[in-house]
Structure 1
Amino acid sequence: MTATETPPVMSTRTAAVAVGLLFITNGALIGGVGGALPALRERLEVSASGLSLLLFCLAASAVISMQIGGRLADRIGARPVALCTLTLLAVGVGLLALTSSLPWAIVAMVLAGLGNGAMDVAMNSLGVEVEQARPKPIMSRFHAFWSLGNLTAAGTIVLIARIFDRTGGANVGPALGTLCTAGLISIAVCFRIVPVGRKIEHKLDGVRTAIPRLAWALGLMAFCFGLAEGTAVDWSSVHVTDVAKIDPSTGALGLVAVSGFMVIIRLLGDQAVARVGRRAVVRVGAVTAIAGYLVTVFTQPLPLLLVGWALVGLGVGLVAPQVYAVAGHVGDGRMLAIVVTFGYAAFLVGPAIIGQLVEHFGVQHAMVLPLVLSGCLVAVSGVLPRDD
């Protein structure tokens, strides 16, 4: 495998800020979709199956986009892929803000998925490149920015929905429109400061190299944490709304708890990796997520539910940055694309599966699936290096 490096065009610090901006913008736009789901359910007059259909459309288009985006990122560099797909994601969220019918909501979800899938691969590829140029880990902080974007989106949903609809109803259009506008502004800034990514040819002496076997073990881990994290992002607000029997905009506090504590732990994650290694960090995170999901399955009062989702946020927040970082360091963009595909396929398809479980068994019993997969993370974590 060979990599064609372009001359550096900015400092490592500026590059880190630029990539962080990509993460926070992506997190805000995706978080806006997740936080708006309870209100969209009312506006579109659909059941849990209807929400599952929307999430499936988001997932399917994202998985397709990841495969195309991963190859393009290696061929032309991750920068143009990230910028173009961020634009597509923002347009999808903007259309979702305007629609009041299920067919147009499906179109909006497809556009958002096409943008989000390739952008996930591209921004993580850029993040690994920045980390490789630094003496200390930084991937956890990048994912903290993503969670901060999620948190900002959830707060925006709660505040603007209450401003425009004092009853706490289904008017989330202004909030999603605000997030879309912020995303478009971010694109203009990113265009000027996002670093030029390297181009990679997966060949050695003219022969195409094989994908390292570690990719598939990391992919399994990514599927487990992807479903656990995706459930938290997309269903925490619905779970809190239905179990605690509160209005939809207040139910978005579930996502606030998840995202807020993910931000906190990811800001501390790089220091933890430097001290005890990625394997120990992942195991602690998985056990914490198990504790959180146990609370969501067996309790009903709002304060306890928020504690449960906070523990889930703390736990899953530790896992993803470490698995993606190992993939990027070991196998560069191609391997990272595979692992990201597993993770985000689960992140997006998983909540749709949860929707079917909610339909048949109820929202609390549906949380058993991410609980079990969090346990699987502990078992598979032995493939990770003890330190980095």
Structure 2
Amino acid sequence: MSPERRLSRASFGARATFALAGALCAVWTVRMPALQSKLGLSDAQLGLEVLGWGVGALITMLLAGRILGRHGSRRVLRAALPATAVSLALVGLAPNYALLIAAGLVFGLCFGLVDVAMNTQASTVERRYGRPLMGRMHAGWSLGAVAGGLLGAVTAWIGLGFTAALCVVAVLLLPAVLAVGPTYLGADPSTGPSADPPTDSHGASDAADPAGSARHQAARRAAPKPRLPMLVFLFGALVFCSYLAEGAVADWSGVYLHDTLGATEVVAALGYPMFEACMFVGRMRADRLTLRFGARRLIITAGLASAAAFALVAAAPVPMVGLVGFAAVGLAVCTVTPLVMSLAGAAGGAQTERAIAAASTMGYSGLLLGPVAIGFVSTASSMHLGYALTAGVVCLAIALGGRFVPRGQHIRPVEPAAQPAATAAPPTRRAHEPCLARGSSA
């Protein structure tokens, strides 16, 4: 297979992975009422179940840098993505609350690895191309979330319960999950687990000397890891804010539309799909916007626009205005997470896996804390004030944090490992390769 086709296939595989992950999560999310009915759960018990999912994801995210550094995103995704689909069925099959918590924790453990690994894989593809692609990768998530939400709605419409719905969806998606595995790329040349084995001064590979290779691997594991650049943690803080804003919509939009604005259950259920659909539209344009305006300006603008959109949500007098507000939030905040994840991977250099794991972990903290913060504020006052203070202030923080992003921060292209001169492609063919030679000008 030619390098161009291999890279194109990997790009499709990464986008498909985001879509599958989004679909797996969305089906569970939209069938939450059926889960409550099945086990007779209170709102607090349901919230604890969601928290267990998030805690499981955080646990593996804390370990993901080490796991990915040793095995690479390709191997991790090939194992963790099918495990996530299987664990979704386990959630559906849980016969009581204790086993539901355990199954949710397992789902979170698997999904946490998938989240970091698919962002790492996307960063690898993006750097091979040498131009922004993360926006379209995350657009795959939004498309998958919309499709998964609609699929969940169909299972409810035809009368499937929570158990049958999750098991059917897991079985339907598992073949696609397995099919996407061969598309993944190995790590960046000479920086990751799939790099060629090191050679000695005479050009002999350690592969010919198992003892030497073992000594090299042991020495590499024992060597102290260099510290991540502080810039990675700035990007992690921005992901924290972005995830908090997204979580505010995912977890509270339905409750806000139904209980506060008086929408019917059908109308209230449209809030999250509309948000994700607008996220998809915006993310499909995000990469071009990054090339045109630059990361710094785009992040600042997204933060200010998101704050304005949440102000519209908080001031909404009727459900339709609330729906428009949530759609506006999706369009405004859609660029932040993919752009900042991309910058974190680039800032990490040879430590791409650790950098993205750190940013993802900080981001998921926001995903867990945001809905809790809004819940406390709304309980003490109102949901209007909860959205205005929590989400609005966080979006202003994105705009403020964006000012600290260095000017000219961009994706650095990564060239594939050099081929022997005898097998190198003629220079005239390089013009047809997808940005491997042209960098970010394509």
**TM-score (normalizing by structure 2):** 0.78
Q: Letter of the aligned partner of 1:234 in structure 2?
A: D
Instruction: Indicate whether 1:82 and 2:85 are aligned.
Output: no
Match of 1:339 in 2: 359
Match of 1:3 in 2: none
Contact 2:125 2:185 in 1 (8 A): no
Task: Measure how far apart 1:135 and its partner are.
Answer: 3.7
Query: Taking structure 1 as reference, are residues 123 and 213 closer, same or farther at Cα in structure 2, changes over 3 Å only?
Result: same
| Residues in 2 aligned to 1:248 and 1:97: alpha-carbon distance in whole angstroms | 23
SS in 1 for 2:185: coil
Match of 2:278 in 1: 261
Match of 1:217 in 2: 234
Please provide the CA RMSD for this pair. Answer: 2.7
Q: Letter of the aligned partner of 1:188 in structure 2?
A: L
| Residues in 1 aligned to 2:330 and 2:273: alpha-carbon distance in whole angstroms | 10
Query: Taking structure 1 as reference, are residues 285 and 245 closer, same or farther at Cα in structure 2, changes over 3 Å only?
Result: same
Contact 1:34 1:235 in 2 (8 A): no
Q: Letter of the aligned partner of 2:385 in structure 1?
A: H
Q: How does 1:46-61 map to 2 (within 5 A)?
A: 46-61=41-56
CA deviation profile, 1:96-149 (whole Å, cap 9, x unmatched): 333464323312321221111111111111101100111421000000001111
When structure 1 is superposed on structure 2, of 367-376 and 87-96 the one drifting more is 87-96
**Structure 2 residue corresponding to 1:243, chosen from 246, 251, 260:** 260
SS in 2 for 1:222: helix
Q: How does 1:1-388 map to 2 (within 5 A)?
A: 11-99=6-94, 101-164=96-159, 171-198=161-188, 199=192, 208-248=225-265, 250-331=267-348, 332-367=352-387, 368-387=389-408, 388=410
| Residues in 2 aligned to 1:186 and 1:67: alpha-carbon distance in whole angstroms | 28
| Residues in 2 aligned to 1:52 and 1:356: alpha-carbon distance in whole angstroms | 13
Contact 1:158 1:249 in 2 (8 A): no
CA deviation profile, 1:159-205 (whole Å, cap 9, x unmatched): 3312217xxxxx444443343223312221122322233426998xx
Task: Measure how far apart 1:235 and its partner are.
Answer: 2.6
Query: Taking structure 1 as reference, are residues 290 and 173 closer, same or farther at Cα in structure 2, changes over 3 Å only?
Result: farther
SS in 2 for 1:137: coil
| Residues in 1 aligned to 2:347 and 2:302: alpha-carbon distance in whole angstroms | 22
Query: Taking structure 1 as reference, are residues 306 and 355 closer, same or farther at Cα in structure 2, changes over 3 Å only?
Result: same
Contact 2:64 2:354 in 1 (8 A): no
Task: Measure how far apart 1:56 and its partner are.
Answer: 1.4
When structure 1 is superposed on structure 2, of 270-279 and 226-235 the one drifting more is 226-235
SS in 2 for 1:77: helix
Q: Letter of the aligned partner of 2:329 in structure 1?
A: V
Contact 1:31 1:233 in 2 (8 A): no
SS in 2 for 1:208: coil
Query: Taking structure 1 as reference, are residues 231 and 175 closer, same or farther at Cα in structure 2, changes over 3 Å only?
Result: farther
Contact 1:35 1:255 in 2 (8 A): no
Query: Taking structure 1 as reference, are residues 236 and 267 closer, same or farther at Cα in structure 2, changes over 3 Å only?
Result: same
* Structure 2 residue runs without a partner (length 5+): 194-216, 411-442
Q: Letter of the aligned partner of 1:379 in structure 2?
A: L
Task: Measure how far apart 1:366 and its partner are.
Answer: 2.8
SS in 1 for 2:229: coil
CA deviation profile, 1:308-335 (whole Å, cap 9, x unmatched): 1111111221100111111101102211
| Residues in 1 aligned to 2:128 and 2:337: alpha-carbon distance in whole angstroms | 20
Bigger radius of gyration among the two: 2
Query: Taking structure 1 as reference, are residues 310 and 322 closer, same or farther at Cα in structure 2, changes over 3 Å only?
Result: same
Query: Taking structure 1 as reference, are residues 303 and 173 closer, same or farther at Cα in structure 2, changes over 3 Å only?
Result: farther
Aligned residues: 377
Contact 1:237 1:251 in 2 (8 A): yes
| Residues in 2 aligned to 1:38 and 1:358: alpha-carbon distance in whole angstroms | 21
| Residues in 2 aligned to 1:353 and 1:112: alpha-carbon distance in whole angstroms | 24
SS in 1 for 2:228: coil
When structure 1 is superposed on structure 2, of 190-199 and 125-134 the one drifting more is 190-199
Contact 2:77 2:117 in 1 (8 A): yes
When structure 1 is superposed on structure 2, of 338-347 and 242-251 the one drifting more is 242-251
Task: Measure how far apart 1:236 and its partner are.
Answer: 2.1
Query: Taking structure 1 as reference, are residues 309 and 43 closer, same or farther at Cα in structure 2, changes over 3 Å only?
Result: farther
* Structure 1 residue runs without a partner (length 5+): 1-6, 166-170
